[in-house]
């Protein structure tokens, strides 16, 4: 039954998920149809959730590539960066009490713009276990 549900999702997702080169991860993206179109192409760690929970939705070759990119680009010493460090919006230092007039960081606005989070690491590791020979 689970495979049947994934097949329905896969049939619906394929036209959207294979639209081209999404940053450096071919068939995984964080958003689709964002009001700021460029954000659909930002590299973020959330795709690791899909790779870990429903690896059948991803071609093994692309899954290996996505995991490799995540490991090389997003994996930091404390967790997974919430945005590719090469992205122009990357602001890694999160301070919720920042009362400055810098809109990019004030009041914790950059929460999703680079600071490392620990929780995506479990999904990334599960995806690595599924898609790679090099387990860590």
User: How does the average pLDDT of the chain come out, rounded?
Assistant: 76
Average pLDDT rounded to a whole number, residues 63-88? 90
Residues 6+ apart with CB under 8 A from 133: none
Where is 2: in which H helix or E strand?
helix 2-17
pLDDT at 90: 85
CB atoms within 10 A of CB 37: 9
**From residue 112, how far is each of 12, 17, 69, 82, 119 by CA, in Å?**
28, 22, 19, 5, 13
pTM, two decimals, is 0.71
| Residue pLDDT, tens place only, 99-131 | 888 777 777 777 778 788 999 999 999 999 999
Dist CA 48 CA 76 (whole Å): 15
């Amino acid at each position: 039954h689970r495979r049947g549900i994934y097949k329905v999702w896969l049939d619906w997702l394929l036209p959207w998920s294979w639209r081209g080169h999404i940053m450096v991860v071919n068939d995984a993206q964080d958003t689709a149809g964002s009001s700021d179109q460029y954000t659909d192409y930002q590299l973020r760690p959330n795709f690791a959730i899909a790779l870990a929970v429903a690896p059948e939705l991803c071609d093994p070759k692309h899954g290996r590539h996505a995991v490799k990119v995540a490991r090389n680009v997003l994996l930091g010493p404390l967790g997974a960066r919430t945005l590719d460090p090469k992205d122009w919006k990357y602001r890694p230092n999160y301070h919720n009490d920042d009362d400055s007039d810098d809109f990019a960081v004030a009041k914790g606005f950059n929460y999703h713009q680079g600071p490392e989070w620990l929780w995506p690491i479990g999904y990334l590791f599960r995806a690595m276990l599924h898609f790679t020979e090099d387990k860590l």
